[in-house]
Structure 1
Amino acid sequence: MGDIVVQKIVRPERVVSGPWLEVIASNLDYHRATFLWKCEGLSEAQLRQRPVQSSALTLLGLMRHLQGVERAWFQRTLAATTPQFFPYRTYVTGAGDEWYDESDPTPAGDVYEDYLKACEESRQVFARVTDDPARLVPNPEFGDTEVRFVLQHVIEEYARHVGHADLLREAIDGAIGE
C-alpha cells in the first residue's frame, strides 16, 4: 500500500534494571516506538482524521507535537542550544500560548520524517548531556530542574500522548493493543 505513512514498527525490548540512564534511554525509545506503533499502517487521511467530535486532536497533530517535545526538552533545555524546528503552521491561544494548527498542510510523510529526525537528534543530545543527572538546568516552566526531572518529564509527555494515540487509533479503525 503506497499510501501508508508509517510502516511496520517493532518496539524494542526495554531495559528494566541496571544503570538508571540505560533504563531511561530504553524506556524513551520504547515509548517513541509505541507511539509510532499506534500510527502504523494508516494513510495520510487516517492520520489527519479527527475521530473524537469534541476534539481537534489527530495522530498527525500528536506527531508534530512530539517532535517539538523532543527538540524543546533535549536541545533547548538540556543542551542549551537553539533547536531547528520544522516551520509547521501554528496559532496563538487567547492565553498567549503557541500551538500547532491541525490544518497545517505539511504532508504526513514529511511530518513522520521530521519526527524521526527529532528523535535521533534527541538520542545524540542524550549521549552528550546526561553524564551528570543531578545537574541543574534553567527551565522557565518549572524553575531550575535536574536533568533527571527533564528526562522523567519527557517520559511523562509520551505516556500522556500515547494514551491519546491509543484512543484515537481505536476510534479510527478499531485497532487496540496495550
Structure 2
Amino acid sequence: MDDTVNDIVVEKAVRPERVLSGPWLDVIASNLDYHRATFLWKCQGLSDAQLRQRAVPTSTLTLLGLMRHLQGVERAWFQRALAGTTPHFFPYRTYLTPEGEEWYDESDPTPATEVYADYLKACDESRQFFTDVTADPGRIVPNPEFGDTDVRFVLAHVIEEYARHTGHADLLREALDGTTGE
C-alpha cells in the first residue's frame, strides 16, 4: 500500500460561500475565509512529503512553506498590528535572507500535521480578534513596513497575501501532480 495515502495532511477543504454584498466587514470576513479555504484546497489530499516537495526546480518554495508563512501573516497582522498584542508564533526554523529578512527554512522538521494544526489555530485566532480589531475601520495603525495605515488597508493587505500565495500554491500543485482548478 502507498504510504502517502495514509499520510494525507489536509483531508478535505470546503470553501464557504462568499458574502457578495452588504456590510463591508461582512464581505471582507467572508472573503478571507474563502481565500483561507482555497489555499487549503490546493494542499488537500497531499502527504507530508508532497507538501515539502520543491515542485519548481529553480525555487525553494513549497506548499508547506507557504502554510508556515500564512500562519505568520495571520498572527502578525491580526494580533500584532491590529490588536497590539504579542502573538505566539510557533518556533519554526528560520534563516536570514541576503536582504536581512527572516524567512522560514524549508528544512524545518516540524511534521506537516503540526504545521497544518498551527495554521488552523492561527486562522481561528484571527477570527476571534476580527470583530474587536475592525470596530473602527478608519483607525490608524502604526506599520513599520508600509508606514501608518488604517485597518482597511491591513485587511486588504491580508487578502493580497492570500491572493498572491494561493496563486503560488496553484502553480506548485499543478507542478506536483497536475491538479488544477480555480
Q: What is the rounded CA distance, in whole Å, between the counterparts of 1:41 and 1:71 in structure 2? A: 26
CA distance, structure 2, for counterparts of residue 55 and residue 100 of structure 1: 14
What is the CA-CA distance between 1:128 and the residue it aligns to? Answer: 1.2
Q: Name the structure 2 match of 1:23.
A: 27
Report how far residue 57 of structure 1 moved: 0.3
Residue 101 (1) aligns with residue 118 (2)? no
Shift of 1:9: 1.0
**Matched residue, 1:77:** 81
Give the match's secondary structure for 1:91.
strand
TM-score (norm 2): 0.97
Q: In angstroms, what is the RMSD of aligned CA positions?
A: 0.6
* Secondary structure in 1 matching 2:6: coil
TM-superposed CA distance for 1:94, in Å, is 2.1
The percent identity for this pair of structures is 80
Query: Residue 32 of structure 1: CA displacement?
Result: 0.1
1:9-158 equivalences in 2 (<5 Å): 9-158=13-162
**4+ residue stretches of structure 1 with deviation over 3 A?**
none
SS at the partner of 2:106?
coil
Q: Which runs of 5+ in 2 are unaligned?
A: none
Partners of 1:94 and 1:41 lie apart in 2 by 35
Q: What is the rounded CA distance, in whole Å, between the counterparts of 1:155 and 1:177 in structure 2?
A: 19
Q: How many residues align?
A: 178
